[in-house]
A = this chain, B = another copy of it.
């Protein structure tokens, strides 16, 4: 069985690493390195000069235009190209950051060549390549990402009605009329909700209500 070679580009500011890697990958006979670049800006400049790569290997820390920005640019301008982050860092922050920026996978520079080739082939075919390193961090990220979320806030029916009407172009005066209550009473509801949601403005209140899925628009 024969499969097309995967066309890739390498973006990394360490010239020796970049070129060594290019040789190494070319030797595998499954990967074709179209071009390499010093940083994101260099990549943008070179991209039109070659066929579009299937995968771009992307370093994170680079001068001029770093990996996060470069990845965002790629996904905005060539969403079909898959970005595989390739970095020395195994901390949560760069990993989550690159994935959020749009990378489809994350490999360490200390990986074995064979593993990198598999990752490149995997990401070329399925757009994403998740390994052990990444999956745990991903999970912890979404689990921690909801800090104050599971604090069910007790609202009485009137407060809830008021909250709904708040999510509109109406003034408090108009809301008071619609609820057949004095504007001062509405004031009390507002104060109470500001405290419960820990906000200081109607806009903050609306955003919180939507985030907590108390109100649907």
Query: A35-63 vs B: 1/0 string, CB under 8 Å?
Result: 00000000000000000000000000000
Task: Label chain A's interface by main secondary structure.
Answer: helix
Given known contacts A72-B150, A143-B102, A210-B210, A203 and B138 CB-to-CB distance under 8 angstroms: no
Given known contacts A72-B150, A138-B135, A210-B217, A200 and B169 CB-to-CB distance under 8 angstroms: yes
A168 proximity list for chain B (CB < 8 A):
203-204, 207
Query: A115-133 vs B: 1/0 string, CB under 8 Å?
Result: 0000000000000101000
Query: A78-112 vs B: 1/0 string, CB under 8 Å?
Result: 00000000000000000010011010100000000
* A206 interface residue per 8 A CB criterion: yes
- Listed residue (A72, A135, A168, A201) with the most chain B CB atoms within 10 angstroms of its CB: A135
* A3 interface residue per 8 A CB criterion: no
Q: Of B149, B201, B203, B217, which one neighbours A211 at CB under 8 angstroms?
A: B217
